[in-house]
Amino acid sequence: MRFSFWEHSSSRLKRIMMILAFLFLSILVTLAGVLTPLSLGESQQLNEQLKQLQDSLKGNDVWHNALLIFQNNILICLIMFVPVLGLFFGFYVLYNTGLVIAAQSNVANVSATMSFLLLFLFPHTLLEFTAYSTALAESVWLPWRLIRHKEKRELVKAGLLILLCAAILLVAALVESVLITPFL
């Protein structure tokens, strides 16, 4: 069976469709983590690790926290760009993010699924997922383009996508920092 729609689509449209597919997959993988049953002890242990991270943000101004959040997120995103291996790393990180959401919800005795869905009310959540999905899509797209001997143009596009993801993650970090710093 051939996919004539795919074959006749532009490279740009294919890339956008892949990013959207990876956005959907990223949300599903994170949701899988959210839905993973955790004991109260496991939840408390994950919460303690998260608390240490939150403590590193206490006492800082918005800009400093934004920089710390950005550094963490850009490192994760850059690793996701690594051809093929970035997929495994990315889905591991996203699944573990879901586990942390589940742990926090478990300790607070609230619905983990509802907590996850409520995160999408905050703009930084969708921005981060978009950047990560772009990186994951490129980790598949890049080797495919290399196989098709279109490496020069694709390496330039990969560089541009890295810059785009960095800009998206910087905005997301600023938004997240503005939202959380007053509550630390």
- How do residues 100-131 score in pLDDT, each as one tens digit? 999 999 999 999 999 999 999 999 999 999 99
What's the burial of 12, exposed, middle or buried (CB within 10 Å: 0-12/13-18/19+)?
exposed
Q: How much is the mean pLDDT over the chain? A: 90
DSSP string, 60-73: --HHHHHHHHHHHH
Cβ of 176: how many Cβ atoms within 10 Å? Answer: 23
By three-state DSSP, how is residue 3 classified?
A: coil
Which two tokens mark 110?
A: 């609230």
Mean pLDDT of 89-94: 97
Using DSSP's 3-state secondary structure scheme, residue 59 falls into: coil
117, 120, 140, 141: which is closest to 129 by C-alpha? 120
User: For residue range 11-40, what is the model confidence (pLDDT) as tens digits?
Assistant: 788 889 999 999 999 999 999 999 999 888
HSE-up (13 A, CA, CB side) for residue 124: 16
Structure tokens at 138: 């490129």
pTM value is 0.90
